[in-house]
Chains A and B, each alone.
Chain A
Amino acid sequence: MTPIDSTTVSDALRLESFETFARESIAQAPSWIRPLRTEQLERFVAQGLPHAKLEAWRQTNIDPLKQLALTPASTLPPAERSERLAVPEIESLDAVRLVFINGRFSEELSAIDRLPEGVTVMNLARAIEQGLPEVRKHLTQSSERDDVFAALNAAMVEDGAYIRVRRGVCSQRPIALYYLSDPGEQAVAAFPRNLIILEESSELTVVERYVGVAGSVYFNNAFTEIVQGRQANLEHYRLQEESDAAFHICGLDARLDRDAMLAAHTMLFGGQLVRNNIHPVLVGENCDCLINGLYVPTGRQHMDNHMRVEHVGTHGDSRQYYRGILADEATSVFSGRIVVAKGAQKTDAKQTNANLLLSERAHAHTQPQLEIYADDVKCTHGATVGRLEQQQLFYLLSRGIERITAEAVLIYAFAADTLERMRSDPMRELLKGELLKRLPGGDRVAGVL
């Protein structure tokens, strides 16, 4: 192992001691953002790091993260490229490309070209520096009040993507954000933040893809903030393929105005400890929100999905479909809460969580919750934890299909609905491939399905 030089050691911090570092960092930021970041830092300090006694963290132990000596990415010299990682570009998307290395924008690897008219895309650091009015207005404004990692991300905010689609513009080109983690010998902490603003009647597809050098330890605290105007339509994909030793805590907060539509798709593959917070607020009336996800932990991976869907406007429609496939000693959490505010009449909210255990030692915790303050609503929720259906397996075997193929076919079938809900053909094909790559016997299924 390469000896760690003294400067690196002095820059390594535990998460609990981030306050001093954050204050120094804030002091160097543009003046307009200092109060916002300071406010978020105060929240982070006041709340403190989560522990197992908190209801929202009962099943997820972040001690291994707390004990890590972290090097804030902003203390490292900016890297324009990674020696060890190629950009996992999704060619068939033909997307505008923003690439980040350890949370910081790489101009060299990015391609912000052929932008449709009315679409603004730049890295967030630049947008903050320019102090764009839209950024001043919206940045950190939608953060969930009791999410300490959202607060930490906002307090540390430095870079990420800033996307704005003007009124009435339907962008034919998706925007793809590639977050590459190549932390070297140090456990780097990065705080990428994306701000996506869709004005009235606009349309866009955004893809976030996270990858890391295999086996490397780092902490990605990522946060995406979405603001949708009336009738704005966003298709959002998050594909998380971090190193299996990484810590990944991400959030997605969205505010939907009247008639807006959001489809948020998430596929979780990587990370030793993963927390995925999803929090859309259907503010206006007649909003439509699809929360679609699949988590596939193996080994000793732990994946925690924390949903909070808030209905404020009337006639809102939300559907949450989350599925987990757990192998080995993997563990998962699904905690889904539907909150229907007083006055959010005619809400139609649905939530399902299904888990498939492939091993005796895998554990899935699931906790659907309803919090309803209106009286004329339709809310349903359901959760299941099960194993492969032996009758289905026998049926396939009895037709001469080999066991390993038959099992893989059934596992894939369990996830098929999740893929079917994705509107983007390139994304669905990509995710199908990524899923099959990870399933035992998946290579055989590829020939069948």
Chain B
Amino acid sequence: MATPLLEIRNLHASVDDKPILKGLSLTVNRGEVHSIMGPNGSGKSTLASVLAGHEAFEVTEGSILFKGEDLLEMDADERAILGLFLAFQYPVEIPGVSNTQFLKAAINARRKAAGEPEIDALAFLKLVKDKARTVNLDESLLKRSVNEGFSGGEKKRAEIFQMALLEPELGILDETDSGLDIDALRIVSEGVNAMRSPERSFVVITHYQRLLSHIVPDHVHILMNGRIVRSGGKELALQLEQEGYAALEAEVAATA
């Protein structure tokens, strides 16, 4: 069998010496969409940050292989170049840096790593125009500073727009649905679905089932207290929606 795109084994991670992830394992093959669901504080966002390489999180045990390579040995920028993308739960505002400048820098960083020349201005403009249309993003926003003055929905759409531009092999969506109204949720989901391919995988992190009726996952995992306590198909999300986290929590406690 082919090497999995992502292979997490027995991952333990802490922030400020406080353990958050306590033995998480997950295998994502190419072309699959996995959803990680869990209550607040279960470690969902920590998993996203650890995967993307945030320095505030310390991995104390376990391993992560991405395309067969040791992800933990790489800095955040190297991970991105290798094909990993994190759509932030809270996209960061960067006053003084325009979106256009930022996106060009990100695209050229990839091209440089691939030994390609920098993107020419016309090709860049066309690419930006095309991708902005896929998530219904107002192009005038791109003249502004990165995420500055964007509404909550615009920020989330901008994340998916960036993902479409950078064409990663693994997209991690960290609560992309939070703060989105139903129209925005549909637009964002369509943007993601358009990118689904046999080569590309997604890890969709969410608290609610709502997003998963738009981005239908192949696998659903329930994260509680830093570990995956249950895995199943898309029906698991529906079951969770009906029964709630509390019921599952009690069930897990009883079988532990």
Counting CB contacts under 8 A, is B76 at the interface? yes
CB <8 Å contact, A398 and B52? yes
Which among B53, B109, B145 is the interface contact of A401 at CB below 8 angstroms?
B109
B77 touches A (CB below 8 Å): yes
Bound state CA distance, A401 and B97, in angstroms? 13
A413 touches B96 (CB 8 A): yes
Q: Which residues of A contact B109 (CB under 8 A)?
A: 399-402, 405
Besides A397-B80, A398-B80, A449-B97, 15 other A-B contacts (C-beta < 8 A):
A397-B77, A398-B52, A398-B53, A398-B88, A399-B102, A400-B77, A400-B106, A401-B77, A403-B75, A403-B77, A409-B101, A410-B94, A413-B97, A413-B145, A417-B96
Which B residues are CB-close (under 8 A) to A414? 96
B55 interface residue, CB < 8 Å from A? Answer: yes
Q: Digit string of B58-75 for contact with A (CB within 8 Å is 1, else 0)?
A: 000000000000000001
Question: Which of A224-232, A266-274, A362-370, A388-396 interfaces with chain B?
Answer: A388-396
Is A12 close to B, CB under 8 A? Answer: no
Task: Provide the residues of chain B in CB contact with A402, threshold 8 Å.
Answer: 77, 109
Check B162 for interface membership: any CB of A closer than 8 A: yes
- The answer to whether B75 and A397 touch across the interface, beta carbons within 8 angstroms, is yes
Assuming the A-B contacts A400-B81, A405-B105, A448-B105, are A392 and B94 also in contact, with contact meaning beta carbons closer than 8 angstroms in the complex?
A: yes
- Whether a CB of chain B sits under 8 angstroms from the CB of A149 is no
What residue in chain A is nearest B86 (Cβ atoms)? A398
Cβ–Cβ < 8 Å partners of A398 in chain B: 52-53, 76-77, 79-80, 85-86, 88
Q: Is B238 an interface residue (CB 8 A)?
A: no
Interface residue tally of chain B, by bracket? Answer: 20 to 34
Structural contact, B81 and A413, CB atoms closer than 8 A? no
Which chain B residues lie closer than 8 Å to A448 at the CB level?
101, 104-105, 108
A448 CA to B253 CA, complexed, in Å = 53
Decide: A391 near B92, CB < 8 A? Known: A400-B80, A448-B105: yes
How far is A260 from B52 in the complex, measured between Cα atoms in Å?
54
- Interface flag for A406 (CB, 8 Å): yes
The reply to whether B96 and A401 contact each other, CB–CB distance below 8 Å, is: no
* Chain A positions 406 through 434: 1 when the CB is less than 8 Å from some CB of chain B, otherwise 0: 10011011111100000000000000000
For the complex, what is the distance from the CA of A405 to the CA of B92, rounded to whole Å? 18
Q: B78 to chain A: closest CB distance in Å?
A: 8
A409: B residues at CB distance < 8 A: 97, 101-102, 105
Main secondary structure of the interface of A (DSSP, over half): helix
CB of B94 within 8 A of CB of A397, answer no
B166 to chain A minimum Cβ distance, whole angstroms, is 7
List 10 A-B pairs, Cβ < 8 Å.
A390-B56, A394-B54, A396-B94, A396-B105, A398-B88, A400-B110, A409-B97, A409-B102, A416-B97, A448-B101
CB–CB A406/B77 < 8 A: yes
Give the CA-CA distance A389 to B146 in the complex, in Å: 14
Does B4 sit within 8 A of A, measured CB to CB? no
Q: How far is the CA of A394 from the CA of B75 in the complex (A)?
A: 10
> How many A residues touch B, CB cutoff 8 Å?
27
Chain B neighbourhood of A401, CB < 8 A: 77, 105-106, 109
Closest Cβ neighbor of A449 among chain B residues: B101
* Selected contact of A395 from candidates B88, B104, B166, CB within 8 Å: B88
Hey, which chain B residues are within 8 Å of A415, CB to CB? Answer: 96
Shortest C-beta distance, A416 to chain B (Å), equals 4
B91 part of interface (Cβ distance < 8 Å)? yes
Residue B233 lies at the interface, judged by CB distance under 8 Å to chain A: no
Cβ of B95 within 8 Å of any chain A Cβ, yes or no, is yes
Nearest CB on A from B81, distance (A): 5
**Interface members, chain B 27-54 (any A CB < 8 Å):** 52-54
A402 to B96, CA, bound (A): 18
Known: A401-B106, A402-B109, A448-B104. A413 touches B77 (CB 8 A): no
| Distance between Cα atoms of A405 and B76 in the complex (Å) | 13
Closest to B94 in A: A392
Docked pose: A245 CA to B207 CA in angstroms: 60
Look across to chain A and name the residue whose beta carbon is closest to the beta carbon of B52. A398
Closest 6 CB pairs of A and B: A413-B96, A400-B80, A397-B76, A416-B96, A399-B106, A395-B92
Q: Given A400-B166, A449-B101, A392–B92 Cβ distance below 8 Å?
A: yes
Q: Are B94 and A413 in contact (CB under 8 A)?
A: yes
Contacts of A413 in B (CB 8 A): 94-97, 145
Q: Are B88 and A399 in contact, with the CB atoms below 8 A?
A: no
Which residues on the A side are within 8 Å of B118 (C-beta)?
Answer: 447
Query: Which A residue sits closest to B91, measured CB to CB?
Result: A395
CA distance A353 to B108 in the complex (A): 35
A403 to B145, CA, bound (A): 20
What residues on A are CB-neighbors of B53 within 8 Å?
397-398
Residue of B nearest to A409 (CB): B97
List residues of chain B with CB within 8 A of the CB of A406: 77
Bound CA span A98–B91, Å: 51
- Tell me whether B80 and A395 are in contact (CB under 8 A): no
Complex CA distance for A405 and B108, rounded to whole angstroms: 12
Closest to B147 in A: A395
A54 CA to B145 CA, complexed, in Å: 43
